[in-house]
């Protein structure tokens, strides 16, 4: 019997930035999913999902996709393409305490767990690093289905803890060895609109960026200043989109600089979270009235900062409450959200 456990994640800084080649600061959280299972004597794969009262079955001999986002087959295909061998079928069970469709990477945590599980149950188990597991999960979940997201979710849930992730031109991870304390997640219990919002936010800005590159082949989103925008013939809408993107890039760099200090200023981190959210709300238009209500009651209850988390259009928000988070948790629950107190957690592991 093999058991794998993987955390969810929250994005502190860099929301809707990683797929543009910009860095993020994310944190794996103390809400986890697990896969527990073993080989069987058939060529069938059976995946029990008691949390949602489902069972998924397919044959190792037929890995053709039969539904949109056929993730368990794509994960198995990714492992086969890396040379893993499976001579027997699999019986396993998935359980998760990560809220679904809330923006805290429940699907990516399951994909990382699945890839990790397959790497251990294969006839020729490799010794993949956590970073390699995350990259392979990204290929199976995002690239395989031509989806618009970046690799923050898969890398963050795989490697765990608090990280600075820069994926341009190649993924580079810097661990931030700080204890930030507690966050409170407020689930609006309205499913987020991941694909439609990701496409809108991504494609709108990429079209503007491509236009800017035509005028200046040396254009670089990592280094352009707000003053440089005046050189380009942008409409008000285009200007605001790139202006907001640069502002959020700068907020992240300020946060990174602050987090380099052992005695970092928690109030400054809270302030930067608030500033980041304003851009996500006002420029990218990804927040909702319910999310705004949960953010406001959190701040009024003493949170140092708060922002929407995930792709948006629903899902959840996060409030930074380094100490005594119970008051903010109560405020969120009283306002119609479902709150969870979380802290940083380790990445994907094989449990005994």
Q: Which domains does the chain have, with CATH numbers?
A: 2-177+347-351 (3.30.230.10), 184-342 (3.30.70.890)
Residue 75 has pLDDT above 90, yes or no: yes
pLDDT on residue 103: 84
pLDDT on residue 171: 86
pLDDT on residue 279: 96
pLDDT on residue 320: 98
Residue 339 has pLDDT above 90, yes or no: yes
pLDDT on residue 201: 86
Tell me if the pTM is above 0.75: yes
Strand partners, 85: none
Contact 97, 30 (CB under 8 A): no
Question: Quick one: pLDDT band at residue 296, thresholds 50, 70, 90?
Answer: very high
pLDDT on residue 302: 98
Q: What is the DSSP string of 68-135?
A: TT-HHHHHHHHHHHTT----S-EEEEEEE-SPTTSSS-HHHHHHHHHHHHHHHHSSS-----HHHHHH
Token couple for 265? 């200023």
Sign of the four-CA dihedral 127, 129, 133, 139: negative
Token couple for 266? 């928690």
Residue 313 has pLDDT above 90, yes or no: no
Counting residues of the chain whose pLDDT is more than 70, the rounded percentage is 100
Question: Judging by DSSP bridges, how do beta strands 90-96 and 44-49 pair with one another?
Answer: parallel
**Considering only CA atoms, which of 292, 342, 285 is closest in space to residue 317?**
292
Residue 112 has pLDDT above 80, yes or no: yes
Contact 99, 115 (CB under 8 A): no
What tens digit of pLDDT does each residue of 258-291 get?
Answer: 999 999 999 999 999 999 999 999 999 999 999 9
**Considering only CA atoms, which of 111, 108, 106 is closest in space to residue 51?**
106
pLDDT on residue 63: 96
Lowest mean pLDDT among 192-196, 309-313, 316-320: 192-196
What tens digit of pLDDT does each residue of 52-69 get?
Answer: 999 999 999 999 999 999
Residue 245 has pLDDT above 80, yes or no: yes
pLDDT on residue 191: 80
pLDDT on residue 312: 87
Tell me the C-alpha to C-alpha distance, in Å, between residue 58 and each of 42, 94, 120. 11, 16, 20
What tens digit of pLDDT does each residue of 190-220 get?
Answer: 887 767 787 778 888 999 999 999 988 889 9
pLDDT on residue 110: 98
Question: Quick one: pLDDT band at residue 346, thresholds 50, 70, 90?
Answer: very high
Question: Quick one: pLDDT band at residue 175, thresholds 50, 70, 90?
Answer: very high
What tens digit of pLDDT does each residue of 114-148 get?
Answer: 999 999 999 999 999 999 999 999 999 999 999 87
How many whole angstroms separate alpha carbon 328 and alpha carbon 320?
A: 9
Secondary structure string (H, E, C) spanning 258-320: HHCCCCCCHHHHHHHHHHHHHHHHHCCCCCCHHHHHHHHHHHHCCCCEEEEECCCCCCEEEEE
pLDDT on residue 200: 78
């Amino acid at each position: 019997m093999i058991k794998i456990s993987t955390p969810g994640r929250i994005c502190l800084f860099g929301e809707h930035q990683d797929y543009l080649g910009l860095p993020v600061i994310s944190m794996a959280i103390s809400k986890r999913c697990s896969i527990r299972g073993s080989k069987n004597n058939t060529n069938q794969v059976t995946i029990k999902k008691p949390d949602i009262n489902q069972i998924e079955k397919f044959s190792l001999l037929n890995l053709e996709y039969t539904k949109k986002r056929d993730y368990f087959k794509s994960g198995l295909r990714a492992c086969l393409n890396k040379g893993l061998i499976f001579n027997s079928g699999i019986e396993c069970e998935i359980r998760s305490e990560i809220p679904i469709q809330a923006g805290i990477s429940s699907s990516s945590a399951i994909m990382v767990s699945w890839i990790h599980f397959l790497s251990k149950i294969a006839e020729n188990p490799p010794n993949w690093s956590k970073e390699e597991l995350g990259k392979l999960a990204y290929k199976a979940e995002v690239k395989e289905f031509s989806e618009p997201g970046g690799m923050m979710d898969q890398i963050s849930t795989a490697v765990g803890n608090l990280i600075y992730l820069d994926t341009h031109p190649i993924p580079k991870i810097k661990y931030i060895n700080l204890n930030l304390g507690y966050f409170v997640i407020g689930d609006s219990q309205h499913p987020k609109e991941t694909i439609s919002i990701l496409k809108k936010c991504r494609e709108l800005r990429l079209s503007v960026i491509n236009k800017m590159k035509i005028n200046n082949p040396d254009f670089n989103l990592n280094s352009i200043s707000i003053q440089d925008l005046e050189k380009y013939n942008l409409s008000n809408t285009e200007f605001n989109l790139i202006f907001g993107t640069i502002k959020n890039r700068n907020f992240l760099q300020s946060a990174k600089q602050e987090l380099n200090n052992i005695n970092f200023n928690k109030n400054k981190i809270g302030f930067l979270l608030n500033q980041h959210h304003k851009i996500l709300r006002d420029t990218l238009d990804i927040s909702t009235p319910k999310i705004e209500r949960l953010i406001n009651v959190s701040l009024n209850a003493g949170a140092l900062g708060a922002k929407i988390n995930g792709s948006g259009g629903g899902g959840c928000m996060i409030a930074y409450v380094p100490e005594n988070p119970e008051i903010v948790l109560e405020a969120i629950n009283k306002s119609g959200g479902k709150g969870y107190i979380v802290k940083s957690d380790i990445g994907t592991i094989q449990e005994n």
